[in-house]
Amino acid sequence: MKAVSAPVTPVLLNAFMAVQGRPTPLQWRAWECLAENPHALISSPTGSGKTWAALLPILSDINPNPTDSTLVLWISPLKALVSDTATRISQFAELLRCQNSSLARIRVSARTGDIPASQRSRDRAHPPHIWCVTPESLAIWLTIPAMVNRLKNVRWLVVDEIHSVAASRRGADLALSLERLEERLENPARRIGISATCHPLAAAGRFLFGPGRPFATVECADDSPLELRVEHLPHEFDTTKTILERIFKELDHHQTIIVFTRTRASAERLAWTCRKERPALPVGIHHGSLAPEIRRETETRLRAGHLRLVFSSTSLELGMDIGAIGLVVLVHPSGEVVRLLQRIGRSGRGPGKTRQGLVLAANPSELLEAVVTATAGREGATEALMPIGVCEDVLCQHLMAEAMLGSCRLESFLEVARRTGPYQELEAGVFLECLAYLRGELGNQQSLVPRLRLLPDGRHVIARPRMKYQLRQSLGAISATASRKVMLRDSTSDRVMGEVEPAYADALRAGDRFLLEGKCVQVARLSGPDVEVVEASRMASPPRWTGEPLPLSPLLASHLQALRDEAARIIAENPSLLASWLEKRHQLPPKESSVLAEYFISQECHGEIPHANCLIAEISPCGDEWLLAMHTPLNRAGNEAIARLVARRLARNRRAAGQSMVADLGLAFRLEHPPGQPAEWLRIILKPENALAELEEAVAPSDLVRRRFQEIAVTALMTPRLLPKNKGSRSPKVGGGGWVARRLYDQCLRRAPGFILARQALREILMTSIDAAAALAWLERVACLPAKVRWLPCPSPFIRHWTQLGQGPELAPESPEDALKNLRNKIMGVSA
C-alpha cells in the first residue's frame, strides 16, 4: 500500500505551533515517517508527545472536509485512558481550530462499557470522526452488522499503549478484531502503534501489523535524567509505619508522590494508616478493585495537584495524564526492569525533566533484587517483549462473532487470522479443531451443546438465535471473575466503593470489618450479591485479592545469579573489597552496600553463596521435620516446574509425604526424614531424561491447569461468563463456582484426551505459571555439575530471606488410596 497522505499540512502545523510550540524531535520524525510509510510504530517515553505525533497526520488527512462518518478508531487498553484520550484529542482539535477557522470541527467520542445511553444515542445520530474505544468495545461492535457498516469508512487504526496488550490474550483478541474490521473496510486502513519504551520494537510491530504489512519505526530512547535510589528499610515491628515514616520525609522535597505497592491490600493498608497518622494530608488510593468513579476522582485530583500522596498497586502504571509527579516510591522491588522504568517514568514527565525514583527494600534479599533491577534500569537492559501467540479460545470467540455477522464460510477465516501477528503460524488442524468444538463435537461425537451449525451448503450459522445475546455478554478475552460489589451506606447517599472476590465475600458476616478505599468499613448487611457496609473507625485488615504478586523476570533472575557469582569471587579474593565494589558498580550508598556485603559474607560463612557451576543444597532441622532446600538461578515459575517434577517422581513412593515451597531463586521440601544419600537422591530426582513428559503428566491434572481451563472455557463460550437469570432457569449451584475446573475438565478429557481447550490450558500453564523451558534447561545443565549438600543447624541467610515464597505442590503418593492411607496414619500417629 503506497502512502498517500502529505506530511502535516502547513495550516495544521502553524496552528499546532501556535498552541503547543515547536514540535519535538520525535514528532518531526514521526511525521516524516508517516509521509513515506503507510504504517508506523512510535515508541518513546511518557510525556514526549507521542499522541500528537500520531494525531497530526490523521488530522491533516481528514481535514478540511471530513465525511460524516467515523474515519479513525483510536484503541486504548483502559476505559480511563479511552475517556482521557477522547477528551484530550477533542480539546486539542478545538484549540487548533481556534487558531484557524478553516480547519473542520472534528467530532471525537469515547466508547466503553461505562458510556451512558445518551452519549450512545448522540454518537448514533452523528458518528464521531475519531472514536476512542477499548478492545472489548470493538469486539462487541464486530458482532453487530449495523455497527460494522458504520465503520466501513475508517481510514486510520491507532493502537495506544501497545506494549501493554501485545503479550497478553487481549492482544490476540485485538489483533483478530483489527483484521476482521479490515476485511470490511472500503479501503485498507493505515495503522499507527504507540508504545512506551519496549524492545525489541520489531516484535511489537509484527504483533500490530502482522506478517504482510511493511512498517516503519520511530524510536526515541528515554534520555531524561534518572535519579534512582535504593534503600534498605529494615523493620522489626510495624512495616507499614516504618514505610510511611520514610515516605513522609520525602514530602519535604516533593509536592506529589506516588507510592506503588506489590498488592492492592498493601496499598489499602498504607492509605488507611497514612490517613490515621496524618489526617490533614490529602491522600488518595488507586487500584483495580475500587469503583471507576473513585479512580477517576483520584486521577482528577492528582492532575489538579490536590493530592500529596497516592497509593497504587499497578493501575497507575499506564499512561493517562496524571500531572506532574515529583517522586515515585516503590515499596518492594518491581520484579521487572520494564515495570520499574514504567513506574518511575510517571515522575518528571517531559523531555529533559528528571525522573525520580526510590525503591524501598524490607530485607537484604529484597535489597539485592532492588539493586539488580535498578542497575539494569540505569543501563537500559530491559526484558524483551514476547508477543502473544495462538490462543484457541480467543479464535473460537471470533469465529462465533464472524458467524453472528451473517452466515458465512468460516473456513476462509483461517487466512484472515494468519494475517495477524499472533496467528500467523496458526495450523489448519488447530483451526479445524476449533470449528469442530463449536459445532459441538467432542472426541468425534456430538456430545456438546453446539454453538454453530453447519448448513448443507457449507456455511456456518449460529446454532440457536438466543445465543447471540448470551455471546455478546461473554465477549472479550479478559477473564473477568465475578466479583461482589461493596456498597457504602451513609446518611446522604449510597455508593459503590469497589469490589471483593466471591470467596472473601462468602466468608464475611455482619459486623466484620475490612479496609477499602483507605477507609475502615463494617459489614452492615449481606443481601443478594452485594456487601453493604458502613464506615467504621477501628483497625481492620484489607480483603484478600488473588493473583497479584509480581513475578521476578527471568532476566533479573539471571542478573541476580551473575551478581552472586561475582560476589563469591570477590569474597574468595578479599572480603573487605566487596562493599566498595557494590558501591561503585551499582551506585549504592555506603549503608546499603555494607548491608549487602554483610549478607553475602554471612551466607558464605553459614553455608555457601550459590554459584552457577555447582548445585548447592542444604538440609537443616525444622521442628519435627527436615528442610531440604536447593538454590537455583530460576525465578519462581521455573522453581514451580522443578517442584512439580520432583513431587511427581517422589509420588511413585507410596509413602511419599511432605510439602514443597517455591520462591525466586530456590525451592525447598519439608520431609519427615532426610534422604540417606542426599547428593545421589538429588541426581535421581533432578535427572533431565524424560523430564518434560513427566512434568506434563504432573501438571495436567493440577489446580493450576484446571483453573486456566475454567477461564478458557468462558472465553471460548463453553460456559457463560454470567449464568442467565431468566425465569425458570436457576443456576445450578450445587456444583459450586469451581465445577468447570473440578469436573468439566475431567469429563472433557475422558471423552477426548486431546481436547483442544484442555491442551491450550496445559500449554499456557507450562509457559507462564510454570516455566517448563527454563526448568528443563537448568536440569540439563545441572546434570553435568557437581552437587554439594550441606547439613546446617538452620537455613542459611539466603533461604531465610527468600522472596515470593509460597506453597508448592504437596508431596503425596500417586494413588488417592495411598494418599488417604498416609493421611490416616499421620492423624492417628501411626508410623507407616
Partner 1 sequence: MKRGEWWLDHRRLVLHEPSKTLLAADLHLGYLAIRRDANESVPVETLAEELADLESAWNELAPTALLIAGDLMERGTTGLLDAFSSWARDRKITLSGLVPGNHDTGLKACPIPILHEGHQLGRWHVSHDGESGPYPVVHGHRHPAVPIPGHGMAPCFVFMENRLVLPAYSVNAAGGSVARRSVVPWDGAEVIAVAGNRVETLGSIENLRDVLYSSKRTRRKP
> Residues interacting with partner 1, by CB under 8 A?
440, 442, 447-451, 464, 466-467, 470, 620, 622-623, 625, 627, 629, 647, 651, 657, 659, 661, 668, 670, 703, 717-720, 723-724, 729-732, 734-736, 738-739, 742-744, 747-748, 751, 795, 799-800, 802, 805, 807, 809-813, 815-817, 819-824, 826-828
CB of 325 closer than 8 Å to CB of 316: no
128: its cell numbers: 464521531
The helix-helix angle for 691-699 and 756-767 (nearest 10°) equals 110
Q: Closer CB to partner 1, residue 129 or residue 721?
A: 721
**Letter for the amino acid at 675?**
P
| Cα–Cα separations (whole angstroms), residue 20 to 13, 49, 84, 160, 610 | 10, 10, 19, 21, 55
Q: Closer CB to partner 1, residue 306 or residue 464?
A: 464
Q: Closer CB to partner 1, residue 15 or residue 667?
A: 667
Q: Within 13 Å of residue 404, how many CA atoms lie on the same side as its CB?
A: 27
- Minimum CB separation from partner 1 for residue 447, in Å? 4
283: its cell numbers: 491522600
- Minimum CB separation from partner 1 for residue 346, in Å? 32
Q: Closer CB to partner 1, residue 255 or residue 731?
A: 731
Q: Closer CB to partner 1, residue 22 or residue 652?
A: 652
Q: Closer CB to partner 1, residue 124 or residue 750?
A: 750
Candidates 358, 297, 296; CA nearest to 326 is: 358
Q: Closer CB to partner 1, residue 693 or residue 827?
A: 827
Phi-psi region of 752 (alpha: psi -120 to 50; beta: other; left: phi over 0): beta
- Minimum CB separation from partner 1 for residue 780, in Å? 27
Residues 532 and 511: their CA atoms lie apart, in Å, by 11
Residues 6+ positions from 688 with CB-CB distance below 8 Å: 776, 779, 780, 783
Q: Closer CB to partner 1, residue 512 or residue 565?
A: 512
Residues 6+ positions from 478 with CB-CB distance below 8 Å: 136, 169, 170
Q: Closer CB to partner 1, residue 183 or residue 817?
A: 817
Candidates 262, 303, 311, 260; CA nearest to 283 is: 311
Q: Closer CB to partner 1, residue 126 or residue 824?
A: 824
Q: Which residue, chain included where needed, has cell 507521542? A: 50
Q: Closer CB to partner 1, residue 614 or residue 722?
A: 722
b/e code 705-725 from CB counts within 10 Å (16+ = b): bbbbbbbbbbbbbbeebeeee
- Minimum CB separation from partner 1 for residue 745, in Å? 11
- Minimum CB separation from partner 1 for residue 739, in Å? 7
Candidates 189, 192, 159; CA nearest to 56 is: 192
Q: Is 296 exposed, middle or buried (0-12, 13-18, 19+ CB in 10 A)?
A: middle
Candidates 292, 306, 307, 359; CA nearest to 329 is: 359
- Minimum CB separation from partner 1 for residue 43, in Å? 41
Sheet architecture: strand order including 530-535: 494-500, 484-489, 530-535, 519-527, 513-516
CB of 808 closer than 8 Å to CB of 670: no
- Minimum CB separation from partner 1 for residue 479, in Å? 17
Residues 804 and 637: their CA atoms lie apart, in Å, by 10
CB of 44 closer than 8 Å to CB of 197: yes
- Minimum CB separation from partner 1 for residue 449, in Å? 5
Q: Closer CB to partner 1, residue 119 or residue 446?
A: 446
- Minimum CB separation from partner 1 for residue 742, in Å? 7
- Minimum CB separation from partner 1 for residue 609, in Å? 18
The helix-helix angle for 636-650 and 691-699 (nearest 10°) equals 90
Q: Closer CB to partner 1, residue 356 or residue 660?
A: 660
Write the DSSP string, 9-73.
-HHHHHHHHHHH-SPPHHHHHHHHHHHH-S-EEEE--TTS-HHHHHHHHHHHHH-S---SS--EE
- Minimum CB separation from partner 1 for residue 152, in Å? 32
Q: Closer CB to partner 1, residue 456 or residue 728?
A: 728
Q: Closer CB to partner 1, residue 97 or residue 821?
A: 821
Q: Closer CB to partner 1, residue 29 or residue 451?
A: 451
- Minimum CB separation from partner 1 for residue 732, in Å? 5
- Minimum CB separation from partner 1 for residue 639, in Å? 14
Q: Closer CB to partner 1, residue 174 or residue 748?
A: 748
Q: Which residue, chain included where needed, has cell 484478600? A: 544
Instruction: Count the neighbouring beta carbons within 10 Å of the beta carbon of residue 77.
Output: 24
Q: Could you give the angle at the alpha carbon of 640 between the alpha carbons of 637 and 646, nearest 5°? A: 150
Residues 635 and 612: their CA atoms lie apart, in Å, by 14
**Letter for the amino acid at 579?**
A
364: its cell numbers: 537484604
Q: Is 512 exposed, middle or buried (0-12, 13-18, 19+ CB in 10 A)?
A: middle
- Minimum CB separation from partner 1 for residue 757, in Å? 10
- Minimum CB separation from partner 1 for residue 392, in Å? 14
Candidates 749, 760, 751; CA nearest to 716 is: 760
- Minimum CB separation from partner 1 for residue 26, in Å? 47
Phi, psi angles (nearest 5°) of residue 621: -70, 150
- Minimum CB separation from partner 1 for residue 671, in Å? 12
Residues 216 and 219: their CA atoms lie apart, in Å, by 10
What SS3 state is found at 422?
coil
- Minimum CB separation from partner 1 for residue 455, in Å? 20
Residues 332 and 260: their CA atoms lie apart, in Å, by 9
Q: Closer CB to partner 1, residue 610 or residue 813?
A: 813
